[in-house]
Structure 1
Amino acid sequence: MPTVPGQIDWIELPAADTAKARAFYGNLFGWDTSEFPGDYHVIGNGPEGAIAPREDGFAHPRVYFATDDIDTSVKQVHDLGGVAEGVHAVPGVGRIAHCHDDQGTPFSLFEPAPQN
């Protein structure tokens, strides 16, 4: 599926105890999850996203917006008065950058890896 810039592409829900969070959302919404390394649990039958360990700077849900060109989008974030961390590659998935808008609201950008 093509990328639609600005569309919410992924969410991450932070949890102090991912097992308890998986049970909570599983009972609330019927979600099941698949575990990936690092106690990261991809939601299988709900929104595109995951339940992940809470850590410093990641205490609230993280929303990823799609972009076709993350480098240009990061530059635009800076030009518009926001803040963006460096771009990080996620092997086989794409590239991400965690940002804050010009009022301090956190969000993230996601550029998918090219499809073969």
Structure 2
Amino acid sequence: MSGDIAWVELPAADTTKARTFYGGLFGWTTTEFGGDYHTVDNGPAGAIAPRAETFTHPRVYFATDDVEVSVKRVHELGGTAEEIQDVPGVGRLVHCRDDQGTPFSLYEPAAQA
């Protein structure tokens, strides 16, 4: 449903330490998805990912039925959006900021065959 939290990414300077921490705290296990990106197996829909200069706080992805329409609305409301990214087999996503500069992301799931 549009507006629901669909995915959360936790940035970590050391993903091995982060996986140990959250595993000890919540019992989470993870699976490497690619590179140093680890999806959570038995917790919230999300991942532990390498921290980057532009990715220092948890990133929340809100579900949308049409990412292009949502990006247009973000702009109309005074926010900004980066380029939409297509992730094969996953869907489409875009990183945005609201009209006060708060970062968030939008996610449109891939169509089911």
Q: Which TM-score band (shorter chain)?
A: over 0.9
Instruction: State yes or no: 1:88 paired with 2:72.
Output: no
Q: For residues 68-116 of structure 1, give each alpha carbon's deviation from its aligned partner in whole angstroms, at most 9, with x where no partner exists.
A: 0000000000000000001000110000000000001000000000001
Alignment partners' CA distance in 1, 2:52 and 2:75: 25
Give 1:36 deviation, angstroms: 1.4
Partner residue of 2:62 out of 62, 65, 90:
65
Aligned length in residues: 113
Alignment partners' CA distance in 2, 1:106 and 1:38: 24
3-state SS in 2 of match to 1:68: coil
Q: Percent identity?
A: 69
Q: Which residue of 2 aligns with 1:44?
A: 41
3-state SS in 1 of match to 2:71: helix
Q: Which residue of 1 aligns with 2:73?
A: 76
Instruction: Please report the TM-score for the alignment, with normalisation by the length of structure 2.
Output: 0.99
Q: Which residue of 2 aligns with 1:55?
A: 52
Instruction: Please report the TM-score for the alignment, with normalisation by the length of structure 1.
Output: 0.96
Unmatched segments (≥5 aa) in structure 1: none
Unmatched segments (≥5 aa) in structure 2: none
Give 1:37 deviation, angstroms: 1.2
CA root-mean-square deviation: 0.4
3-state SS in 1 of match to 2:75: helix
